[in-house]
Amino acid sequence: MTGPDPAVTPLIIGAGVAGLALAVALGRQGLSSTVIERRPADGQVGFGFLLLPNGVQALDRIGLGGVMRDHAQRMRRLTIYDPRGRTLRDDALPADHLGLDRPFLIDRLRETATDLGARIHWRACLDAVERGDAGRVTAVRLTDGRRLPATVLVGADGVSSRVRRALFPEARRRPLHIWELVTVADAPEAAAILHGRLVKYLDRAAGRAIGMLPLDRRKVIVYLQMDHRRWAVPRPDPADRRRLARSVAFDMPALARRVIEACTFTRSHFYATGDLDPLSAVHARNTVLVGDAAHPLSPFTSQGVASAIEDAVDLARHLGPPLRRPPDAVGCPDAFTRFHADRAAIWIRRLNHGRALARDFLHPELHEHDAPIPFSA
Ligand SMILES: Cc1cc2nc3c(=O)[nH]c(=O)nc-3n(C[C@H](O)[C@H](O)[C@H](O)COP(=O)(O)OP(=O)(O)OC[C@H]3O[C@@H](n4cnc5c(N)ncnc54)[C@H](O)[C@@H]3O)c2cc1C
């Protein structure tokens, strides 16, 4: 006869990529977790992204790399054109650069986490944390008035993390002065032309770029990156966004115009991009940050999702053993320190690379080199 599971169940805030990947990684070690997520179970979960090899390999470690490779479109080339269609660079991409839709990734992570014993509370929004002796978090309060006790708390609540604000109120995101508009086009013809190719039209002189990433036979992720000093922020109205995208693409080659014409902007997401100076620690007592909550990166690195999965897998590796000890002996701070020691240099390298790419976009006069590869290793 087996007794009750003696392990501590961590409370994870956020069922995004990092929170769910952490629940899966802990589940693979036979550990359960509780996840709280403010959106409903069937809510909108975004469009898609380029998943870089480090993210795919981290998914391999939790048994989900294969299913992503089978579903996603492999990107074989990166081509960057100037606005007149002249090639600025054209590179072969090694294996495991994937065009992946976010809903598919989120669904597989959610299903796997649940199968492995994670309990997810939907429509549950963290409002505040309660602290006890020596600053240990003892419970969280939700916006609907509920109170949940917490022995170990993980902030996986994204770029505007409330857990980060509670731990490090002085940490402020820095604006990058570039805004980004992301949508998905239903464009079978363009998807066929783009098959396996990540294409970007880059006009640094005018502070504008249009990127295209095919996800399958119909869908193409489209993103506009714009210097906010020169391009007014579009209103949420789809017609306004459409007009703006047309004006960005009007003198560009046919492929760019065709893809923009296929975008309805009935669903699109606007980001005022920013990042955060590195935190000297991403934990305090029994609480730790992971993913965007720990280190918001500029979108130029394309590392948000891959880094979040890597973080989660690494954190679970360190956290597993202490979670099996009695709650009063949970040695989390040591595990958190090791996690931070593993990851900090990688985060700083990506942060600096993202800043260099942003500078290159905003101040081309300071750079003589060709268009740089628009993502980080
Ligand atoms: C809805 C959504 C759609 C996205 N779509 C895209 C996309 O199409 N392309 C792209 O490149 N990137 C997209 N991203 C961003 C990308 O997923 C992240 O940058 C990256 O995956 C890092 O993951 P993360 O888990 O750290 O943060 P996120 O993936 O942002 O996850 C954070 C999670 O925490 C939840 N949360 C936040 N605050 C609270 C709170 N107070 N209480 C409870 N839950 C909370 C959020 O709802 C979210 O589910 C999207 C993010 C979100 C939240």
CA-closest residue to ligand 1 atom 5: 46
d(CA 351, CA 286): 26
Are the C-beta atoms of residues 77 and 87 closer than 8 Å to each other? no
CA of 158 to the centre of ligand 1 (A): 5
The atom of ligand 1 lying closest to the CA of 299 is 11
CA of 163 to the centre of ligand 1 (A): 14
Q: Where are the beta strands (DSSP E) in 106-196?
A: 119-121, 126-131, 137-142, 147-149, 153-155, 173-186
CA-closest residue to ligand 1 atom 13: 46
**pLDDT at position 1:** 38
Ligand 1 in contact with 15 (CB < 6 A)?
A: yes
CA distances from 264 to 200, 217, 238, 259, 260 (A): 20, 18, 7, 10, 9
CA of 255 to the centre of ligand 1 (A): 30
Ligand 1 in contact with 163 (CB < 6 A)?
A: no
**pLDDT at position 6:** 61
Are the C-beta atoms of residues 164 and 171 closer than 8 Å to each other? yes
**What is the set of domains in the chain, with CATH numbers?**
11-73+98-173+277-362 (3.50.50.60), 175-273 (3.30.9.30)
Longest dimension (CA), the chain: 73
CA of 83 to the centre of ligand 1 (A): 32
CA-closest residue to ligand 1 atom 39: 157
CA of 292 to the centre of ligand 1 (A): 8
Q: Candidates 20, 143, 183, 305: which one to mutate for ligand 1, based on the most atoms within 8 Å of Cβ?
A: 305
pLDDT in tens, the chain (377 residues): 344 456 789 999 999 999 999 999 999 999 999 999 999 999 878 999 999 999 999 999 999 999 999 999 999 999 999 999 999 999 999 999 999 999 999 999 999 999 999 999 999 999 999 999 888 999 999 999 999 999 999 999 999 999 999 999 999 998 889 999 999 999 999 999 999 999 999 999 999 999 999 999 999 999 999 999 999 898 999 999 999 999 999 999 999 999 999 999 999 999 998 899 999 999 999 999 999 999 998 888 899 999 999 999 999 999 999 998 866 666 688 999 999 999 999 999 999 999 999 988 888 777 666 777 777 77
Ligand 1 in contact with 55 (CB < 6 A)?
A: no
Q: Locate tokens 């593993």: which residue?
A: 342
What the block records as the tokens of 26 is 């802990």
The helix (H) or strand (E) run that includes residue 90 is strand 87-92
End-to-end CA distance of the chain: 49
CA-closest residue to ligand 1 atom 35: 14
pTM: 0.95
Could you tell me whether strands 119-121 and 126-131 are parallel, antiparallel, or unpaired per DSSP bridges? Answer: unpaired
**pLDDT at position 135:** 86
Q: Candidates 50, 98, 102, 164: which one to mutate for ligand 1, based on the most atoms within 8 Å of Cβ?
A: 102
Ligand 1 in contact with 48 (CB < 6 A)?
A: yes
Cα torsion 356, 361, 367, 371 to 10°: value is 100
CA-closest residue to ligand 1 atom 4: 46
CA of 49 to the centre of ligand 1 (A): 13
Q: Candidates 12, 22, 38, 295: which one to mutate for ligand 1, based on the most atoms within 8 Å of Cβ?
A: 38
Q: Candidates 141, 157, 161: which one to mutate for ligand 1, based on the most atoms within 8 Å of Cβ?
A: 157
DSSP string, 197-222: EEEEEEEGGGTEEEEEEE-SSSEEEE
CA-closest residue to ligand 1 atom 53: 16
The atom of ligand 1 lying closest to the CA of 43 is 1
CA of 75 to the centre of ligand 1 (A): 23
